[in-house]
Amino acid sequence: MIPGQGEPAITGAGTPSPVSTRTGDIDLAILLLADGFRPDVLKALCASGDLPNITRHLLAEGSYHEGVTVLPSVTNVAYLPMLTGQYPGTANIPGIRWVEKSRFTFNNGVVKGHRSYIGPAHLRFNGDLPNGLETMFELCPGSLAIRSDIHRGLAPGFSRFHGSSIPFMFFSHYLKRADFIDKFVLGSLLRALRKMDDNWPRFIFFPMLDVDTASHAHGPEHRRTLDAYRRIDAAVGTLVDRLRRIGVWDRTHLLLSSDHGHTETAEHLDLSRLLSHLGYRVFEHPSIFRRVADAAVAISGNSFANVYVSSDGKWERPSVGDELEGEHGRLLEALRQRTEIEWIAYRHSGGAIKIVSRSGTALLSKDCESYIYGYDGSDPLQLGLPRTAIHEADALELTADTRFPDALEQIWQLFTSQRTGDIVVTARPGYDLRGRREWPEHRSSHGALCSEHMNVPILSNRPLSSSGPVRTVDLFPTIIESLNLTPAKPHSGRSLW
């Protein structure tokens, strides 16, 4: 609420309610994914009265938490925690572009063992999900999703606009607008709800892309981006009106959250060109027809990159520690020195991860349930930790307010995937990593571990009683509890009820 306006106050780490009002009466859970929403922009617009529907339907009666998303903080990949309870690393999808070194082969110009979910290949996202996870749609039969690349478990006809969304993506990318698409799919959702009579789905996943698209095109605080926030607020009002009219609003749990924030981008570091200048023959999307390469650059967001290098001319498995430093030391040093790069990370011997910046070098490892973190020079992650062993249960709380929220858990989860790059590169705010390949030019970026990209709002129309810092991966068990579902497979996160 905003003090003095009779509205709910928004605080940083969550607004705990004295009493959780979950009463077992929830028939419908809706996750409205407001792609690219930044908590500070949301708060400012609520304070100025620009988002009356979000204020009335979510803040006034419900709760507000500020959560952290996942690394890489990028669209679709950062939907995984909410829809599967998994991290990008544990779901083996460590970016919107990746390479799997053991399958990375070159045959007469055709290259195998890589993926970019930009363009038509987004249709392969769902098939790339490992069997070891379960989607919310599998857990909750009869769910409905709009334009979701994660759709395993949805019944025919309940995955709306998935296969037909390529023309939408094309036009929104080149026109730098998603408002007409969001409006169209909202209309479709409203019509579907009207026709269903009492047979509503129990769970609806509804991503809206207007703010993300406007942010990339104009900047995260540009007038046109703020207009996009207002349009999504209007959509919330329209949706709640419809739910009221069909008589289900009183039994609805409405959650609004985001997958990442944004930072203004003034300059682009062309990471692929940097590698080329060092003598590497670089594979990079969308130029996927090559006869040979000894490096691959896979960028997400565009502030995050998985960089892969061959070893002795071969593509077999992730490169580790001494081997990487011995063969590619010049590249590591070149990356470390660039002002546009925040830090790099790579696998070290003994299962540890090395994090390197211009100011220092750190090692992250895990012993049973504790992270072990130490550094030489100054701490590249600036965590200010009170001790070197941090129990995983404390990892978020001790890092939530730092420049790199949840750094220990997020860097660790990322490197559980064999598809994560030999070198992970993150850009400093103000820069990104993709130069000549990105058109139209991006004026805003995300993907990295900085707080501006990681912190996202979590709003609920019913007050969630959890206090302290939370993660978007907590939304999965929260929805499970809302709908009284029983997960059959392990997942991360804890319910916010």
Say if residues 423 and 335 touch (Cβ distance below 8 Å).
Answer: yes
Size of the site for Zn ion (CB under 5 A): 4
- Which range of residues in 34-42, 143-151, 391-399, 413-421 is near Zn ion by CB under 5 A? 34-42
Q: Which class for 358: exposed (0-12), middle (13-18), buried (19 or more C-beta within 10 A)?
A: middle
DSSP character at residue 55: I
The interface with Zn ion within residues 149-208 (CB under 5 A) comprises none
Contact mark string toward Zn ion, 197..236, x via CB under 5 A: ---------------x------------------------
In a 13 Å sphere around the CA of 162, the CA atoms on its Cβ side amount to: 24
How far is residue 307 CA from its own chain's centroid?
A: 19
Is residue 338 a contact partner of residue 396, using CB atoms and an 8 Å limit?
A: no
Angle of CA points 293, 296, 300, to nearest 5°: 160
Rank residues 75 and 482 by Cβ distance to Zn ion and give the closer one: 75
Q: How far is the CB of 212 from Zn ion (least distance, A)?
A: 4
Residue type, 244: R
Q: What residues numbered 401-420 form the site for Zn ion, per CB under 5 A?
A: none
Measured CA to CA, the distance from residue 425 to residue 18 in angstroms comes to 43
Residue nearest to Zn ion (CB): 75
User: Which of 35, 66 has the CB closer to Zn ion?
Assistant: 35
Q: Which stretch binds Zn ion (CB under 5 A): 9-17, 67-75, 232-240, 348-356?
A: 67-75
Least distance from Zn ion to the Cβ atom of residue 260, Å: 5
**Tokens 């026109």 belong to which residue?**
175
Smallest separation, CB 300 to Zn ion (Å): 10
Instruction: Please identify, among the stretches 27-35, 147-155, 282-290, 348-356, the one whose residues bind Zn ion according to the rule CB under 5 A.
Output: 27-35
* Distance of closest approach, residue 209 Cβ to Zn ion, in angstroms: 7
Which one, 233 or 259, has the nearer CB to Zn ion? 259
**In the complex with Zn ion, which residue's Cβ is closer, 67 or 318?**
67
Q: Residue 422 to residues 302, 325, 410: CA-CA distances in angstroms?
A: 18, 11, 16
Spatial separation of the C-alpha atoms in residues 37 and 459, rounded to whole Å: 12
| Region near Zn ion per CB under 5 A, out of 243-251, 254-262, 269-277, 421-429 | 254-262
CA distances from 23 to 56, 252, 253, 260, 318 (A): 21, 12, 11, 31, 49
Instruction: Specify the stretch interacting with Zn ion by CB under 5 A; choose among 69-77, 94-102, 195-203, 309-317.
Output: 69-77
Query: In the complex with Zn ion, which residue's Cβ is closer, 14 or 261?
Result: 261
List the one residue out of 46, 80, 73, 42 whose CA is nearest residue 211.
42
Q: Which is nearer to Zn ion, 75 or 303 (CB)?
A: 75
Among 28, 35, 304, 478, binds Zn ion (CB under 5 A): 35
Strand partners, 34: 208
Q: Which is nearer to Zn ion, 75 or 306 (CB)?
A: 75
Residue 391 half-sphere exposure, CB side, CA atoms within 13 Å? 2
Pick 75 or 444: Cβ nearer Zn ion: 75
Q: For the chain, how long is the longest CA-to-CA vector? A: 69
Q: Does 75 bind Zn ion (CB under 5 A)?
A: yes
Q: Which residues are near Zn ion by CB under 5 A?
A: 35, 75, 212, 259
